[in-house]
Structure formats: C-alpha cells, structure tokens
Amino acid sequence: MQVIEYPKKMQELSEQLRREGKILGLVPTMGALHEGHLSLLRRCRAENDLSVMSLFVNPAQFDRKDDLAAYPQDWEGDFKKAEAVGVDLVYAPTAGMMYPEGYQTYVEVEALTRRWEGASRPGHFRGVATVVAKLFTIVKPHQAYFGQKDYQQALVVQRMVQDLNLDLEVIILPIIREEDGLASSSRNWNLSPEERCAAPVLYKALQAAEARVRAGEQGAEAILERMREIIEAEPLAEIDYIACCHPMRLEPVERITESVVFLLAVWIGRTRLIDNALVEVPAQA
C-alpha cells in the first residue's frame, strides 16, 4: 500500500493511470476508520482497478475549534485497516498542503445547505464542498464513495458534482450499524460507557418513525412528536433537530404521501451524533 502526501505527486500519478486506461475509485475519509468506512473501501476495491483512500482531517469543515481538537485520530490503526481491506493507495496530505498561505477559494452549494447540518454548523458544508472538490481534482477518481449516514453531505456532494460538471460518479452506500442499532461513526469513540448505552436512542426514534409510516400514518408532526418523546426519555440525550423531509430537496414535509427522509442530530453528553432513515410509503391497498 503506497502513501502519498503531496497533491501534485498524487495528481500526476492519477493522470498517468487514467491515460493507461485504469479506473480509479476514491473513498474520502477523515481517518478513525470504522465499519462504515470499511464497507465503502471494500466496495471501492471491488469496483475499480485502483482504490484510493484519502485521509485528511479537514479544518475547513469544523465550525468549532474544540470539535476539531476532539476529533478522534488513529493513523496507525487506520493504515492497518486500510491495508487489510486492500486499499492500494492512501492520499494523506497535511493541512498546509491543502490550504497553503494565501488560500482563498471556496465552493458553496446553496439551497441544499441552508437547513439541518448547514444551519447547526455554519460554514460546515462550504468546508466539505471545498475539500471534496479539491480531493476530486487531485485524485481524479472515476467513482467516489460516501456513506448514507451523512445524508445531507452525500446530497451536497452529488449536487456539486453535477453542477460543476465534475467527471465522476458519486456512489452512496447504506448506513452500517452496530448490534444495538447505533450508526457507525468516528464520533462514537468519544462516548463514555454510559453515553454509549444511551446512544442507540437515535435509532430507536427512527425505527418508531418508520413503523408509524408503514402503518399508514401521514402526519409528520405526530411522528416527530413521538420521536421527541423517545429521545427526551433518555436523560443523557438532547435534541439538536429532528425533521421529516423531502428525500432530495430536504425541505420539511408535513403530509407523508411519498418517500421521506427522517433526519436527526442529538447531543449525547458532549458528543453530537447524527442519523437518518429513508422511508418508503406503503402502496395503497
């Protein structure tokens, strides 16, 4: 497994491989790899001639310095896991290589970023869109893999790729969950044992919402109210937002007549977790 640090070196290698007709896949990560990442990496390896993992904790997407400082890091473990699933190349630049002195260009996706994570974390999606655009121009993948766990992020990246005519396909893979339903996330590493026990409450709320929709309930507010009750019953949990939205535009939906996505962000102690569920409406009898 090769490790490349310099953007120009990575780009030259990718350009050469593309000219040789090789198909390149990219999984962008911020390290602290978990089963969700590994599912992306395995799929990337299976579908491409060369699978690249980027490893870069992007300062531009953190709205709070303490959040950046607390982000879990385990490079040694990450390299081992990446090698074990067959990653061919790790692109791991420093912050100074990605944002050298005088850096001043940013990519903004507008409507899709106004609500939810965009509203709770000002500047977050600007940082995401910018770094992902840069990773795409540096690594030049034919396909890039993202997890559905960061649902809004996945839509923002797809929209950016379409709008800026970036020549690649964005592939979104399902959420990987632990046995008790907690969505795999690097942030789970920061949970204390008690918090870890409380954390599946996000999934419980999503399951309740899904069951209600399957049972034919169409009023979003009644379902959201039930979700709030479930989460508020957990003393360590504090809701940031819960929403029932159009699955592509992410605008709130009041009456559920077509597929919707339930999005939620919940603080468990000092750790903020997000989760979501895409729910189909049952066919009418």
Which residues are designated catalytic?
Answer: 37
Rule CB under 8 A: is residue 166 a binding residue for a second copy?
A: yes
Cβ-Cβ contacts under 8 Å for 136 (sequence gap 6 or more) = 26, 144, 161, 166, 168
User: Which lies closer to a second copy via its Cβ, residue 54 or residue 188?
Assistant: 54
Burial 169-192 (b: 16+ CB within 10 A, else e): ebbbbebbbbeeebbbbbbbebbe
Site for a second copy in 68-127 (CB under 8 A): 103-112
Q: Which of 13, 160, 176, 268 binds a second copy (CB under 8 A)?
A: 160
User: Which lies closer to a second copy via its Cβ, residue 132 or residue 183?
Assistant: 132
Report the C-alpha gap between 84 and 154 in whole angstroms.
26
Site for a second copy in 139-158 (CB under 8 A): 140
Rule CB under 8 A: is residue 220 a binding residue for a second copy?
A: no
User: Which lies closer to a second copy via its Cβ, residue 35 or residue 163?
Assistant: 163
Q: How far is the CB of 89 from a second copy (least distance, A)?
A: 17
Report the C-alpha gap between 129 and 153 in whole angstroms.
9
Rule CB under 8 A: is residue 18 a binding residue for a second copy?
A: yes
Report the C-alpha gap between 148 and 277 in whole angstroms.
9
Q: How far is the CB of 229 from a second copy (least distance, A)?
A: 36
Report the C-alpha gap between 106 and 132 in whole angstroms.
11
Report the C-alpha gap between 156 and 109 in whole angstroms.
7
Residues contributing to the site for a second copy (CB under 8 A): 7, 11, 15, 18-19, 21, 103-112, 129, 133-134, 137-138, 140, 159-160, 163-167
